[in-house]
């Protein structure tokens, strides 16, 4: 028995009683603006009934576009990245595009992954892995592949990026713990080869300078993980002792590691040491005590990054640009409340 030939766009047009060009526009989210909603619904219903599937290979040959974009993330298990991916996928779906996601936990893997994506003829890539002075950015620039960075900025200015304002985030955290009476404030910094780690450290130091304060200590984490936070907090305590009022952490996982080390040292949170995180990842409001942190618009980061990529693909935006989104302070019980700080500072009878 011979296989059934695939349904074509002409079959859909004939069954719907419309012209082939109308079907083509109605099935393309980028071109359907000139087609009535009733006609789009008719064409889509007819296509589903016939089992029509777009011939992407033929479309790619005709347009030079595969309608596929790649996304490269450094750690799929990190709760920061799923909402960013949701934003990318939402923006891509609105344009009828498919998203190819890859995980590159080892920076040495990233080059090979991007080469595979090039072989798959992706139209462009959203990059969440790049380090400072990363040869991967050199490779992408030389290859001519359209790319946008998300959650990390290209310090060389060659690639557009969508980021949160790390310096403002640290300013919000530092000013908050200062308002509660904390003065001996330390920082668990992110890896300094990453733009986020360096940017947040600079923001922390700048916020203290503006307040006329100096850091009680800074310890750099090897990674953005609970284990790295636990180790860095233990090293900080060994170096500066227990005379700390607050620890401003580079991310939430690191802050949870700081919880572990502080408790192991017999210190209470927040009665002895206040702790802040960064990212407001899921469930940090459920830990004990709930974590004061910096909330970021992760889904919007992903959506805006994909939008910027599509603008470059369409030729409507070709100059490198950095889109900076505003973070917000989310106060919970891991930092002293103002009333508690006032009570602790009041003279005792």
Could you state, in order of their start, the residue ranges of all structural domains in the chain? Answer: 9-54, 65-159+298-326, 166-292+331-345
In a 3-state reduction of DSSP, which class is residue 196?
A: helix
Residue 133 CB neighbour total at 10 angstroms: 10
Confidence at residue 349, expressed as pLDDT on a 0 to 100 scale = 39
The two structure tokens encoding residue 314 = 């369409």
Phi, psi of 233 (to 5 degrees): -65, -40
In a 3-state reduction of DSSP, which class is residue 178?
A: helix
Look at the domain 65-159+298-326 and name its fold. Answer: Rossmann fold (3.40.50)
The two structure tokens encoding residue 170 = 């640290």
With 0-12 CB in 10 A as exposed, 13-18 as middle and 19+ as buried, what is 283? exposed
CA–CA separation, 255 and 193 (whole Å): 20
The two structure tokens encoding residue 216 = 């009680």
The two structure tokens encoding residue 126 = 């959203």
Residue 39 CB neighbour total at 10 angstroms: 17
Residue 156 CB neighbour total at 10 angstroms: 13
Average pLDDT along the chain, 349 residues, taken 10 residues at a time: 70 85 79 81 86 63 70 90 96 91 84 88 90 85 91 83 95 97 97 93 97 96 96 97 94 98 97 97 96 97 95 79 94 83 49
CA–CA separation, 99 and 220 (whole Å): 34
In the chain, the percentage of residues whose pLDDT exceeds 70 is: 91
Confidence at residue 339, expressed as pLDDT on a 0 to 100 scale = 52
Look at the domain 9-54 and name its fold. Answer: 434 Repressor (Amino-terminal Domain) (1.10.260)
| Beta-bridge mates of residue 85 | none
Query: For 290-305, how does the pLDDT look when each residue is reduced to its tens digit (9 = 90+)?
Result: 999 999 999 999 999 9
Confidence at residue 319, expressed as pLDDT on a 0 to 100 scale = 64
Q: Which CATH class is domain 166-292+331-345?
A: alpha beta
Confidence at residue 201, expressed as pLDDT on a 0 to 100 scale = 97
Kindly report the pTM of this predicted structure.
0.78
Residue 186: which of 231, 263, 248, 258 has the closest Cα? Answer: 248
Confidence at residue 135, expressed as pLDDT on a 0 to 100 scale = 86
Contact 259, 234 (CB under 8 A): no
């Amino acid at each position: 028995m011979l296989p059934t030939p695939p349904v074509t766009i002409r079959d859909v047009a004939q069954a719907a009683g419309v012209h082939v060009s109308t079907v083509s526009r109605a099935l393309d989210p980028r071109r359907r603006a000139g087609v009535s909603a009733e006609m789009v619904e008719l064409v889509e219903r007819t296509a589903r009934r016939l089992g029509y599937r777009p011939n992407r290979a033929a479309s790619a040959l005709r347009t030079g576009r595969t309608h596929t974009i790649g996304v490269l993330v450094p750690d799929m298990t990190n709760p920061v990245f799923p909402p960013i991916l949701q934003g990318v996928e939402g923006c891509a779906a609105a344009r009828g595009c498919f998203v190819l996601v890859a995980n590159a936990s080892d920076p040495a893997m990233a080059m090979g992954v991007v080469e595979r994506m090039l072989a798959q003829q992706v139209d462009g890539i959203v990059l969440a892995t790049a380090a400072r002075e990363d040869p991967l950015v050199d490779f992408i620039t030389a290859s001519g592949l359209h790319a946008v960075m998300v959650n990390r900025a290209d310090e060389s200015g060659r690639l557009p990026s969508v980021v949160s304002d790390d310096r403002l985030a640290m300013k919000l955290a530092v000013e908050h713990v200062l308002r509660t009476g904390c003065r001996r404030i330390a920082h668990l910094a992110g890896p300094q080869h990453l733009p986020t780690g360096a940017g947040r450290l600079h923001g922390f130091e700048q916020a203290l300078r503006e307040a006329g304060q100096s850091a009680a200590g800074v310890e750099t984490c090897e990674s953005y993980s609970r284990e790295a936070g636990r180790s860095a907090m233990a090293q900080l305590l060994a170096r500066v002792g227990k005379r700390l009022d607050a620890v401003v952490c580079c991310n939430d996982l690191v802050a949870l590691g700081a919880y572990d080390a502080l408790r192991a040292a017999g210190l209470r949170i927040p009665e002895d040491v206040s702790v802040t995180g960064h990212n407001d990842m899921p469930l940090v409001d459920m830990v004990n005590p709930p974590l004061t942190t910096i909330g970021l618009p992760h889904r919007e980061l992903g959506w805006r990054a994909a939008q910027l990529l599509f603008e470059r693909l369409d030729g409507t935006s070709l100059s490198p640009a950095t889109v900076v989104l505003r973070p917000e302070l989310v106060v919970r019980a891991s930092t002293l409340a103002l009333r508690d700080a006032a009570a602790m500072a009041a003279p005792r009878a």
